[in-house]
Amino acid sequence: MKILNIDQIHALDQYTIQHEPIAPINLMERAAQAFVNWYGVRFSSNRPVKVFCGLGNNGGDGMAIARLLIQLDYQVEVYVVRYAPRESDDFAHNHRRLKLLTAPIYIEQPHDIPALRHHEIVIDAILGSGLSRPTEGIIKEVIQGINRSPATVIAVDIASGLYADQPNQAEDIIIEPDYTVTFQLPKLGLLLPKNERFVGEWHIVNVQLHQRFIDQAPTSYYYTMPEEARLLIRKRNRHANKGTFGHALLLAGSYGKVGAAVLAAKACLRSGVGLLTVQTPLCGYSVIQTAVPEAMCLPDTHPYVLTGHTEVDNLPPNNYAAIGIGPGIGKAPETLAMLRDILTTIRKPMVIDADALNLLAANRDLLGLLPERSILTPHPKEFERLTQRWQNDYDKLEILQDFARRFRIVVVLKGAHTAIATPEGDIHFNSTGNPGLSTGGTGDVLTGVLTALLAQGYDPVEAAVLGVFSHGLAGDHAADARGQIGMVASDVIDSLRWEN
Ligand SMILES: NC(=O)C1=CN([C@@H]2O[C@H](COP(=O)(O)OP(=O)(O)OC[C@H]3O[C@@H](n4cnc5c(N)ncnc54)[C@H](OP(=O)(O)O)[C@@H]3O)[C@@H](O)[C@H]2O)[C@H](O)CC1
Ligand SMILES: [K+]
């Protein structure tokens, strides 16, 4: 699904109004109805509702939402934050309609702000996507009052005070909602880690804005929807054999970190690879042979770290369908030499993770050797080591795009909404996963998944989008079964499923 910027979203509204065609006031009604449908299945009518409206179209939505809730017998009080003399036409229209049902209460001074109680629901319709400057004066006071209160807060479209597509300042006063119900398309600002407090749990509701405009709108940002990810999964044909799905090589493990190799190997096998060889230091040999009997093991001559030397007959590296390197390998000089050697030899995209990334960061000349369209999977700290410090999340996305473009690679920047940057400069945000995945070994699992997909011939961008989605979904299933706190990386492997 595309993520559009605010100028595009305003143009999309106008396009829908002209080409559907639909009167602006009816579009607002549709948005309000979509919000109320969402609300109705979650909150019972015995919780009093206080709707706070601004004077623009976000406030107009609030007015229409209040009217629809009153008609459904919800107990509703409406507050209008009178911060300016002007109001939008559609606000004024809905204001008039509402006044036939109830008398709104006007907030001009701090003492007009009502007390808010625990069981109450606040609907925040003060400012939406029209935000053009930091909140101040009475708006700021109202926001602070809402944020201090124990009430449940739901933001209409976007939290008042939060920019949808540009950075806020640290001192900005912004609604801290429990939920955000956004119209039609995700906004970039909802996906960024620093904004978490200003987003809460967020949901998209469909208001049937014009699909033709969306299809034609240029963007670099995408949000992976479940149906899009599932479509990427390839069906297996009946005459397939294990050769069809590729022979992968995983270079993983060092003394004390052979578990990382086990996790990556198991995840690789659970993601459909045809054959798997794991190259580990000698100390990992019997571990792999016992823990992962489906895999072959290529013992390194070194007892503790990978050097790339082995006395066992093996395939030339370029004969493997895909190679993944990094889980648990450490940063020994011998391992660095091996990495250099592989990067100069290999001609196809690889998966590069963990200490292999730290070795790259410490030896940046190696970046130029990366096979085109390789997949790198840094967490933010590893990414910072590879690149530079960033000022804010928007700056980080630019650095990410530049880095992926410059080295013609796919970069999977891990986080709450993992961001996948392509060599073409697009970014795909993932939609699955939960904080339970922040535990040791889940990154090794992802490396195994991605290596398996490359070995099966998936294009690296598709492999990254699908692999990250499925890994997050497995994390969600693991959290359902074990809880976010109790789940471990092995539960994620057990929960992997590949069905379209
Ligand atoms: N996209 C959709 O699907 C639909 C969205 N709708 C809703 O419309 C809002 C956007 O409405 P808009 O009127 O453009 O903007 P706001 O309501 O957010 O803001 C109103 C005006 O307030 C001024 N402003 C901006 N920042 C501040 C501030 N910090 N303090 C005071 N005033 C501020 C600004 O006007 P200026 O001329 O003063 O700059 C805004 O224009 C969207 O979020 C949805 O809720 C529709 O209902 C249809 C479908
Ligand atoms: K809002």
Please tell me the predicted confidence (pLDDT) of residue 92. 98
212 alpha carbon – ligand 1 mean position (Å): 24
Best substitution site from 129, 162, 173 to test ligand 1's pocket, by max atoms within 8 Å of Cβ? 129
Best substitution site from 18, 20, 35, 127 to test ligand 1's pocket, by max atoms within 8 Å of Cβ? 127
Please tell me the predicted confidence (pLDDT) of residue 205. 98
Closest listed ligand to the CA of 82 = 1
The DSSP-derived string for 445-493 is HHHHHHHHHHHTT--HHHHHHHHHHHHHHHHHHHHHHH-TTT--HHHHH
125-129, 237-241, 248-252: range with lowest mean pLDDT: 237-241
| 6-218 and 228-235+242-494 share one fold | no
Please tell me the predicted confidence (pLDDT) of residue 244. 87
418 alpha carbon – ligand 2 mean position (Å): 26
Please tell me the predicted confidence (pLDDT) of residue 454. 98
260 alpha carbon – ligand 2 mean position (Å): 45
Question: Which residue's CA is minimally distant from atom 16 of ligand 1?
Answer: 130
Please tell me the predicted confidence (pLDDT) of residue 360. 98
Q: For residue 135, which atom of ligand 1 is closest to its CA?
A: 29
Q: pLDDT grade, residue 263 (50/70/90)? A: very high
Residue written as token pair 């940057």: 421
Q: Is the dihedral of CA 340, 342, 344, 347 positive or negative?
A: negative
The response to whether 189 counts as a known ligand-binding position is no
Share of the chain above pLDDT 90, in %: 97
Question: Which residue's CA is minimally distant from atom 15 of ligand 1?
Answer: 130
Q: pLDDT grade, residue 243 (50/70/90)? A: confident
Question: Which residue's CA is minimally distant from atom 47 of ligand 1?
Answer: 28
- Considering the four listed CATH numbers 3.40.1190.20, 1.10.357.10, 3.40.367.20, 3.30.365.10, the one that applies to the domain covering 228-235+242-494 is 3.40.1190.20
CB-count exposure of residue 318 (10 Å: 0-12, 13-18, 19+): exposed
Residue 473 has pLDDT above 90, yes or no: yes
Beta bridge partners of 428: 222, 420
Mean pLDDT across the chain: 97
The response to whether 95 counts as a known ligand-binding position is no
Q: What is the pLDDT of residues 279-289, one digit of tens each?
A: 999 999 999 99
Ligand 1 pocket: which residues have CB below 6 Å? 9, 13, 27-28, 31, 54, 56-59, 61, 83, 88, 127-135, 139, 156-157, 183-184, 207, 209
Residue 238 has pLDDT above 90, yes or no: no
Rounded Cα–Cα distance for residues 234 and 49 (Å):
48
The response to whether 61 counts as a known ligand-binding position is yes
Question: Which residue's CA is minimally distant from atom 25 of ligand 1?
Answer: 131
Contacts of 200 (CB under 8 A, 6+ apart): 153, 155, 176, 177, 178, 179, 180
49 alpha carbon – ligand 1 mean position (Å): 22
Please tell me the predicted confidence (pLDDT) of residue 239. 82
Rounded Cα–Cα distance for residues 198 and 353 (Å):
32
What is each CA distance from 116 to 12, 77, 157, in whole angstroms?
36, 12, 22
Q: What is the pLDDT of residues 391-406, one digit of tens each?
A: 999 999 999 999 999 9
Q: What is the pLDDT of residues 439-458, one digit of tens each?
A: 999 999 999 999 999 999 99
Q: Are strands 427-429 and 419-421 parallel, antiparallel or unpaired?
A: antiparallel
Closest listed ligand to the CA of 123 = 2
Q: For residue 9, which atom of ligand 1 is closest to its CA?
A: 1
Which residues lie at CB < 5 A from ion ligand 2? 124, 128, 155-156, 160
Contacts of 469 (CB under 8 A, 6+ apart): 224, 226, 229, 430, 431, 432
Best substitution site from 58, 81, 162 to test ligand 1's pocket, by max atoms within 8 Å of Cβ? 58
125 alpha carbon – ligand 1 mean position (Å): 10
Q: What is the pLDDT of residues 419-441, one digit of tens each?
A: 999 999 999 999 999 999 999 99
Q: For residue 158, which atom of ligand 1 is closest to its CA?
A: 43
91 alpha carbon – ligand 1 mean position (Å): 10
For the segment 101-111, the average pLDDT, to the nearest whole number, is 97
Beta bridge partners of 182: 204
The response to whether 157 counts as a known ligand-binding position is yes
Question: Which residue's CA is minimally distant from atom 11 of ligand 1?
Answer: 57
For the segment 46-74, the average pLDDT, to the nearest whole number, is 98
Please tell me the predicted confidence (pLDDT) of residue 296. 98
Q: For residue 24, which atom of ligand 1 is closest to its CA?
A: 48
The response to whether 395 counts as a known ligand-binding position is no
For the segment 446-471, the average pLDDT, to the nearest whole number, is 98
Residue 241 has pLDDT above 90, yes or no: no
Contacts of 388 (CB under 8 A, 6+ apart): 399
Domain ranges of the chain: 6-218, 228-235+242-494
For the segment 272-285, the average pLDDT, to the nearest whole number, is 98
Residue 351 has pLDDT above 90, yes or no: yes
Q: For residue 125, which atom of ligand 1 is closest to its CA?
A: 45
Is the Cβ–Cβ distance between 443 and 471 less than 8 Å? no
124 alpha carbon – ligand 1 mean position (Å): 13
Its CATH class, for the domain covering 6-218, is alpha beta
